[in-house]
Amino acid sequence: MAQVLEFKLPDLGEGLTEAEIVRWLVEVGDVVAIDQPVVEVETAKAMVEVPCPYGGVVTARFGEEGTELPVGAPLLTVAVGAPEGMETSGPVTPGPSGARNGSAPSGSSSPSSSSGSSATEYSGGSGNVLVGYGTGAPAGRRRRIRPDRLDRTPALSGALTVEVPVPETPVSAAPVSEAPGVPVPAASSTAAPGSVAPVSDGPVPVVSPLVRRLARQHDIDLRRLAGSGPEGLILRADVDCAIRRAEETEAASTRTAEAAAAPTGASPAAASPAASAAPAAERIPLRGVRGAVADKLSRSRTEIPDATCWVDADATELMAVRAAMNAATGPSAGPKVSVLALLARICTAALARFPELNSTVDTEAREIVRLPGVHLGFAAQTERGLVVPVVRDAHTRNAESIGAEIARLTELARTGKLSPAQLTGGTFTLNNYGVFGVDGSTPIINHPEAAMLGVGRIMPKPWVHQGELAVRQVVQLSLTFDHRVCDGETAGGFLRYVADCVEQPAVLLRTL
């Protein structure tokens, strides 16, 4: 007999609570193998292909491409264990409750009734463990999922269906509830999304901070909304409906006012172009990479008392050294070394002299935490937005090794295949905004780091060299630092050392 198992969006790690469906890799009716990728999702940090821990026939998919799902929400259902060669005898369709007719005796638990059970009750389960699901050791400590996120999943239950082989009667497959036996609220007792409720003086039934923030941004009074969630819980869908209704009301009021202001003798046909002349503003959701960047930069500006200092440096000698490195032949030849790799190596040498800038601030303990190793982040602009891959243990690498790692991570960033682990854990960031053709900038610190070095474009400029005016390759360097971890003397010393190494690369020989 076929057993229908539900696969939920797993915990993708790094504190991520949701993901957006970018592309389905399977269709309803497809046969999938254990650990076969079934969907490509985009988190706030990376694009991830999610493998399914079950093998069988896909019976339902939850959510279309572009839909945002919380961790723990159903992704798809898979019928496993059906005898081969059996003719189709009935459709598999989502039912109103978590039980499956004919799939288990009354009172038995569903395959996903407890954490991790869906992966262990089926003997053919995955042996490849992704964070948050799979087989093997008992599940570790899991984050608590916000109720409002899970309550959004029924809205996605308009899943596709497929017929699967069954021996006798049709099997009814529905999204499995987190706790079997808990009654599902009847449709008649749930308010329509965004409906108006009488104003109450009691607490507003909202769990999600995101819902509160969305309502606050659009001046929506949550006390006037009737929630469509369990026990009147206000969900994001309710706020979205209220926003749309407010926009429609405002647009109707605008049209009425324009019609009243039009000349009496004007015909409706003459007034119509004036009413539609002003185009509507485009609204772009802040989510995915752009949303994560917005949150991090806003937090940096809010929490960190930053200051910036800058200096112009003559990079002529550095460019000559790089050209000599890349032109070497014979035993001394090697991979090409980029300017960014040389600047990264200079940064690690400078951080060894000024470790105050390789630190972070523990605001709760009111302590400065100096970090033992340098994990160097570098800003990279991609089609999906700005990302900051991290070169691990940069203080142990030479310029050639750093350059090779930067090239590898840049390629992964370009194709959208960076993992969350490759985008987190940095202790200092190098930002080469010179590639955009600009000279200077005041970088925003990558929270929770303590400093960021910005590098402008290297270009020929008039410069006094050895007492004479000459055309030299000049670059502007800027350092933004957290004033809590050090004073201007330390920051100035760091920046001056970096500039000295740029102007006289032989200075680095002291640390080799």
- Contact residues for 177 (Cβ-Cβ < 8 A; gap 6+): 97, 98, 110, 184
Average pLDDT over residues 152-169: 42
Q: Number of H helices and number of E strands within the chain?
A: 10, 21
Q: Is the pLDDT of residue 509 over 50?
A: yes
Flag the least confident range among 177-181, 282-286, 342-346, 473-477. 177-181
Q: What does the buried/exposed string (b/e) look like for 250-280 if buried means 16 or more CB atoms within 10 Å of the residue's CB?
A: eeeeeeeebeeebeeeeeeeebeeebeeeee
- Name the one residue in this structure whose structure tokens are 């003559």: 314
Nearest alpha carbon to residue 214 among 199, 234, 185, 184: 234
- 199-224 pLDDT per residue, tens: 555 566 665 666 777 787 888 887 77
Instruction: Provide the pLDDT confidence category of residue 382 given band limits of 50, 70 and 90.
Output: confident
Q: What does the buried/exposed string (b/e) look like for 147-173 if buried means 16 or more CB atoms within 10 Å of the residue's CB?
A: ebbbbbbbebeebbbbbbbbeeeebbb
Distance in angstroms (rounded) separating the CA atoms of residues 360 and 368:
6
Q: Is the pLDDT of residue 467 over 50?
A: yes
Distance in angstroms (rounded) separating the CA atoms of residues 170 and 77:
16
> What value does the mean pLDDT of the chain take?
76
84 half-sphere exposure, CB direction, 13 A CA radius: 1
Backbone angles phi, psi at 51, to 5 degrees: -85, 150
375 half-sphere exposure, CB direction, 13 A CA radius: 19
Average pLDDT over residues 258-282: 62
Q: Is the pLDDT of residue 346 over 70?
A: yes
- Phi-psi region for residue 98, left (φ > 0), alpha (ψ -120 to 50) or beta? alpha
- 62-119 pLDDT per residue, tens: 988 888 888 889 989 998 875 444 444 444 444 433 433 444 434 344 443 433 434 3
Average pLDDT over residues 122-130: 45
Q: Is the pLDDT of residue 228 over 70?
A: yes
Instruction: Provide the pLDDT confidence category of residue 352 given band limits of 50, 70 and 90.
Output: very high
Instruction: Provide the pLDDT confidence category of residue 46 given band limits of 50, 70 and 90.
Output: confident
Distance in angstroms (rounded) separating the CA atoms of residues 343 and 453:
10
Residues serving a catalytic function are 483
Give the best-scoring range by mean pLDDT among 261-265, 326-330, 467-471.
467-471
Average pLDDT over residues 17-22: 84
- Contact residues for 329 (Cβ-Cβ < 8 A; gap 6+): none
Q: What is the pLDDT of residue 201?
A: 53
Q: What is the pLDDT of residue 224?
A: 79
Q: What is the pLDDT of residue 40?
A: 87
